[in-house]
Amino acid sequence: MNIPYFFEPHLTTDSVNLNDANTHYMLQVLRMKEKESFFLTNGRGQKWLCTIQSIAKKDVAATIVEKNIVEPRMHPLHLAIAFTKNPSRMEWLLEKVCEMGIESITPILTQRSEKNYFKKERFEKILIAAMLQSQQTYLPILEEPKALKDIIEREYDQKLIAYCGQEFEKFSALNAVKPRKSTLFLIGPEGDFTSDEVHLCMQNQFSAIHLGANRLRTETAGLFVCTLFNAIQ
Protein backbone atom coordinates (compact mmCIF):
# COMPACT_ATOMS: atom_id res chain seq x y z
CA MET A 1 0.00 0.00 0.00
CA ASN A 2 1.29 3.43 -0.93
CA ILE A 3 0.99 5.61 2.18
CA PRO A 4 0.71 9.32 1.30
CA TYR A 5 3.06 11.96 2.70
CA PHE A 6 2.08 15.37 4.07
CA PHE A 7 4.28 18.33 5.00
CA GLU A 8 4.00 20.01 8.36
CA PRO A 9 7.00 22.21 9.22
CA HIS A 10 6.34 22.24 12.97
CA LEU A 11 6.26 18.72 14.41
CA THR A 12 6.98 19.72 17.98
CA THR A 13 4.23 18.12 20.06
CA ASP A 14 2.68 14.73 20.62
CA SER A 15 -0.51 15.69 18.81
CA VAL A 16 -1.27 15.75 15.11
CA ASN A 17 -2.16 19.20 13.83
CA LEU A 18 -3.15 19.28 10.18
CA ASN A 19 -3.43 22.61 8.39
CA ASP A 20 -6.38 23.41 6.14
CA ALA A 21 -4.50 22.61 2.95
CA ASN A 22 -3.48 19.15 4.18
CA THR A 23 -6.98 18.40 5.46
CA HIS A 24 -8.56 19.46 2.16
CA TYR A 25 -6.16 17.33 0.12
CA MET A 26 -6.63 14.36 2.42
CA LEU A 27 -10.44 14.47 2.34
CA GLN A 28 -11.35 16.03 -1.01
CA VAL A 29 -8.57 14.75 -3.28
CA LEU A 30 -7.42 11.45 -1.77
CA ARG A 31 -10.81 10.69 -0.21
CA MET A 32 -9.13 9.14 2.81
CA LYS A 33 -11.24 7.37 5.43
CA GLU A 34 -11.02 6.54 9.11
CA LYS A 35 -8.30 4.02 10.05
CA GLU A 36 -6.24 4.91 6.99
CA SER A 37 -2.61 5.88 7.55
CA PHE A 38 -0.40 8.72 6.37
CA PHE A 39 3.08 10.10 7.00
CA LEU A 40 3.87 13.57 8.31
CA THR A 41 7.31 15.09 7.72
CA ASN A 42 8.77 18.45 8.64
CA GLY A 43 11.28 18.40 5.79
CA ARG A 44 14.14 18.08 8.27
CA GLY A 45 14.20 14.32 8.73
CA GLN A 46 11.24 13.74 11.03
CA LYS A 47 8.77 11.15 9.78
CA TRP A 48 5.61 10.36 11.73
CA LEU A 49 3.30 7.50 10.86
CA CYS A 50 -0.23 8.55 11.75
CA THR A 51 -3.69 6.99 11.57
CA ILE A 52 -7.01 8.79 11.07
CA GLN A 53 -9.25 8.21 14.06
CA SER A 54 -12.27 10.27 13.11
CA ILE A 55 -13.53 12.71 10.48
CA ALA A 56 -16.04 15.46 11.22
CA LYS A 57 -16.86 17.63 8.21
CA LYS A 58 -13.59 19.48 7.55
CA ASP A 59 -11.75 18.25 10.64
CA VAL A 60 -9.54 15.20 10.91
CA ALA A 61 -8.49 13.68 14.23
CA ALA A 62 -5.44 11.44 13.99
CA THR A 63 -3.07 9.65 16.33
CA ILE A 64 0.67 9.06 16.09
CA VAL A 65 1.56 5.41 15.59
CA GLU A 66 5.31 5.74 15.21
CA LYS A 67 7.97 8.46 15.16
CA ASN A 68 11.15 8.11 13.13
CA ILE A 69 14.18 10.27 12.37
CA VAL A 70 15.71 9.74 8.93
CA GLU A 71 19.42 10.48 8.90
CA PRO A 72 20.62 12.97 6.27
CA ARG A 73 23.07 11.93 3.60
CA MET A 74 26.64 12.13 4.79
CA HIS A 75 27.83 13.58 1.50
CA PRO A 76 25.55 16.42 0.36
CA LEU A 77 25.24 17.91 -3.11
CA HIS A 78 24.98 21.68 -3.46
CA LEU A 79 23.99 22.85 -6.94
CA ALA A 80 24.82 26.47 -7.73
CA ILE A 81 23.19 27.28 -11.05
CA ALA A 82 22.45 30.35 -13.15
CA PHE A 83 18.68 30.60 -13.49
CA THR A 84 17.24 31.41 -16.90
CA LYS A 85 14.68 34.10 -17.68
CA ASN A 86 12.11 31.41 -18.47
CA PRO A 87 10.50 30.55 -15.11
CA SER A 88 8.87 27.33 -16.30
CA ARG A 89 12.26 25.82 -17.10
CA MET A 90 13.59 26.63 -13.64
CA GLU A 91 10.46 25.27 -12.00
CA TRP A 92 10.94 22.04 -13.94
CA LEU A 93 14.56 21.86 -12.78
CA LEU A 94 13.67 22.36 -9.12
CA GLU A 95 11.02 19.66 -9.28
CA LYS A 96 13.31 17.11 -10.91
CA VAL A 97 16.45 17.65 -8.82
CA CYS A 98 14.33 17.43 -5.68
CA GLU A 99 12.87 14.13 -6.86
CA MET A 100 16.38 12.83 -7.53
CA GLY A 101 17.70 13.98 -4.15
CA ILE A 102 19.66 17.15 -3.47
CA GLU A 103 20.56 19.06 -0.32
CA SER A 104 20.77 22.69 -1.44
CA ILE A 105 20.35 24.94 -4.47
CA THR A 106 21.67 28.45 -5.03
CA PRO A 107 20.82 30.63 -8.04
CA ILE A 108 24.07 32.31 -9.02
CA LEU A 109 24.52 35.68 -10.69
CA THR A 110 27.23 35.72 -13.35
CA GLN A 111 28.46 38.18 -15.94
CA ARG A 112 26.27 36.59 -18.61
CA SER A 113 23.23 35.80 -16.48
CA GLU A 114 19.86 36.49 -18.04
CA LYS A 115 17.26 38.58 -16.25
CA ASN A 116 16.79 36.81 -12.96
CA TYR A 117 13.36 35.44 -12.13
CA PHE A 118 13.23 34.37 -8.51
CA LYS A 119 10.01 33.92 -6.56
CA LYS A 120 11.05 32.01 -3.47
CA GLU A 121 7.56 31.25 -2.20
CA ARG A 122 6.52 29.78 -5.54
CA PHE A 123 9.74 27.79 -5.89
CA GLU A 124 9.52 26.41 -2.35
CA LYS A 125 5.98 25.17 -2.99
CA ILE A 126 7.34 23.26 -5.98
CA LEU A 127 10.10 21.75 -3.85
CA ILE A 128 7.63 20.71 -1.14
CA ALA A 129 5.35 19.02 -3.68
CA ALA A 130 8.32 17.20 -5.24
CA MET A 131 9.60 16.09 -1.83
CA LEU A 132 6.21 14.61 -0.94
CA GLN A 133 5.68 13.00 -4.34
CA SER A 134 9.08 11.28 -4.12
CA GLN A 135 8.41 10.33 -0.47
CA GLN A 136 11.44 12.03 1.02
CA THR A 137 11.83 13.63 4.42
CA TYR A 138 14.38 16.35 3.67
CA LEU A 139 13.36 19.55 1.91
CA PRO A 140 16.20 21.02 -0.15
CA ILE A 141 17.47 24.39 1.04
CA LEU A 142 16.79 27.07 -1.56
CA GLU A 143 19.04 30.07 -1.06
CA GLU A 144 18.52 33.60 -2.29
CA PRO A 145 20.43 34.44 -5.49
CA LYS A 146 24.11 35.08 -4.85
CA ALA A 147 27.00 36.49 -6.84
CA LEU A 148 29.45 33.87 -8.05
CA LYS A 149 32.27 35.32 -5.95
CA ASP A 150 30.18 34.92 -2.79
CA ILE A 151 29.79 31.18 -3.10
CA ILE A 152 33.02 29.79 -4.53
CA GLU A 153 35.01 30.15 -1.30
CA ARG A 154 32.80 27.69 0.57
CA GLU A 155 34.45 24.48 1.75
CA TYR A 156 33.52 21.15 0.15
CA ASP A 157 35.33 17.88 -0.45
CA GLN A 158 35.11 18.50 -4.18
CA LYS A 159 34.26 21.61 -6.16
CA LEU A 160 33.41 21.30 -9.85
CA ILE A 161 32.50 23.74 -12.60
CA ALA A 162 30.91 22.75 -15.91
CA TYR A 163 32.51 24.78 -18.69
CA CYS A 164 32.04 24.70 -22.47
CA GLY A 165 35.13 26.72 -23.43
CA GLN A 166 38.52 25.37 -24.48
CA GLU A 167 40.91 27.53 -22.43
CA PHE A 168 41.24 25.13 -19.51
CA GLU A 169 41.89 21.44 -19.21
CA LYS A 170 38.59 19.68 -18.59
CA PHE A 171 37.72 16.25 -17.33
CA SER A 172 34.70 14.13 -18.09
CA ALA A 173 32.05 14.43 -15.40
CA LEU A 174 31.81 10.63 -15.38
CA ASN A 175 35.41 10.46 -14.18
CA ALA A 176 35.63 13.68 -12.17
CA VAL A 177 32.65 13.25 -9.82
CA LYS A 178 33.82 11.11 -6.93
CA PRO A 179 31.48 9.16 -4.65
CA ARG A 180 31.04 9.81 -0.94
CA LYS A 181 32.27 13.41 -1.06
CA SER A 182 30.40 16.61 -0.26
CA THR A 183 30.17 18.46 -3.55
CA LEU A 184 29.63 22.00 -4.81
CA PHE A 185 28.73 21.99 -8.51
CA LEU A 186 28.54 25.13 -10.65
CA ILE A 187 26.36 25.35 -13.77
CA GLY A 188 26.58 28.60 -15.72
CA PRO A 189 24.14 30.55 -17.89
CA GLU A 190 23.41 29.56 -21.46
CA GLY A 191 26.11 32.01 -22.57
CA ASP A 192 28.52 30.05 -20.34
CA PHE A 193 30.93 31.38 -17.73
CA THR A 194 33.49 33.93 -18.86
CA SER A 195 37.15 32.93 -18.84
CA ASP A 196 37.72 35.33 -15.93
CA GLU A 197 35.01 33.59 -13.91
CA VAL A 198 36.48 30.17 -14.61
CA HIS A 199 39.93 31.49 -13.67
CA LEU A 200 38.54 32.74 -10.37
CA CYS A 201 36.97 29.36 -9.68
CA MET A 202 40.21 27.53 -10.48
CA GLN A 203 41.98 29.75 -7.96
CA ASN A 204 39.46 28.49 -5.39
CA GLN A 205 40.20 24.78 -5.89
CA PHE A 206 37.60 24.03 -8.56
CA SER A 207 38.11 21.47 -11.32
CA ALA A 208 36.69 22.18 -14.77
CA ILE A 209 34.61 19.43 -16.35
CA HIS A 210 32.49 18.75 -19.42
CA LEU A 211 29.14 16.97 -19.53
CA GLY A 212 29.65 15.11 -22.79
CA ALA A 213 29.79 15.93 -26.48
CA ASN A 214 26.41 17.67 -26.68
CA ARG A 215 25.77 21.22 -25.50
CA LEU A 216 23.01 21.09 -22.87
CA ARG A 217 20.47 23.62 -21.73
CA THR A 218 21.09 24.98 -18.24
CA GLU A 219 18.30 22.98 -16.63
CA THR A 220 19.29 19.79 -18.48
CA ALA A 221 22.86 20.19 -17.23
CA GLY A 222 21.60 20.62 -13.69
CA LEU A 223 19.53 17.44 -13.84
CA PHE A 224 22.40 15.53 -15.48
CA VAL A 225 24.72 16.48 -12.61
CA CYS A 226 22.19 15.54 -9.94
CA THR A 227 21.44 12.21 -11.60
CA LEU A 228 25.13 11.36 -11.92
CA PHE A 229 25.91 12.31 -8.33
CA ASN A 230 23.10 10.15 -6.95
CA ALA A 231 23.94 7.21 -9.21
CA ILE A 232 27.48 6.84 -7.88
CA GLN A 233 26.79 7.24 -4.16
- DSSP annotation string for 198-218: HHHHHTTT-EEEE--SSPPPH
Distance CA 180, CA 213 (A): 26
Residue 78: is its pLDDT beyond 90? yes
Distance CA 179, CA 228 (A): 10
Q: How far apart are the first and last CA of the chain?
A: 28
Instruction: For the chain, give the percent of residues with pLDDT over 70.
Output: 99
Distances, alpha carbon 114 to alpha carbons 40, 190, 194, in Å: 38, 9, 14
pLDDT of the residue at 1: 63
Structure confidence by residue, pLDDT tens digits, 156-188: 999 999 998 888 888 899 888 999 999 999 999
Residues sharing a CB contact under 8 Å with residue 214, sequence separation 6 or more, in sequence order: none
Spell out the domains of the chain, with CATH numbers in brackets. 5-69 (2.40.240.20), 77-232 (3.40.1280.10)
Q: Using DSSP bridges, classify how beta strands 59-69 and 46-56 pair: parallel, antiparallel or unpaired.
A: antiparallel
pLDDT of the residue at 126: 98
**Cβ proximity of 109 and 189 under 8 Å:** no
Question: Which amino acid is residue 60, in one-letter code?
Answer: V
Q: Using DSSP bridges, classify how beta strands 158-162 and 183-187 pair: parallel, antiparallel or unpaired.
A: parallel
Question: CB neighbours (10 Å) of residue 169?
Answer: 8
Q: How high is the mean pLDDT of the chain?
A: 93
Residue 123: is its pLDDT beyond 90? yes
**Cβ proximity of 110 and 141 under 8 Å:** no
Structure confidence by residue, pLDDT tens digits, 82-99: 998 888 999 999 999 999
